[in-house]
Structure 1
Amino acid sequence: MRTLLVVVGVIAAALILLGLLLEAARWLMIIGAVALLAVFVLAVVKSRRVLTRQH
């Protein structure tokens, strides 16, 4: 009986950690996408400034 409780506890802890890691990975992907979008917008703005200075 004690072994069964230990096994269930280990499986529960593993599932909790897996859930936390997946949640963290999802937020990291969202933050990465926002950062990528910001870099793209800044690149477009800077390239337009350079093009308008040349004319």
Structure 2
Amino acid sequence: MVEKAQAEGLLNNVSTPNIMGWLRIRNEAVHTNQPVTRAQATEIVRGITQLVQIP
């Protein structure tokens, strides 16, 4: 789905590898005891904010 959204220009120049990394961090946090660092959380929030901004 991420690749399709990227191909259709829906991701506001946020790279697919970045999004996949965010998903990996999310999955590890939810399904294991892996903590999310402040730096990771900040990066993800800033990236998602960029992703949802209307051009």
User: Shorter-chain TM-score category?
Assistant: 0.3 to 0.5
TM-score, length of structure 2 as denominator length: 0.33
Ranked by relative contact order (alpha carbons within 8 Å, sequence separation 6 or more), the top structure is 2
**Larger radius of gyration, structure 1 or 2?**
1
TM-score, length of structure 1 as denominator length: 0.33
* Richer in helix (by share): 1
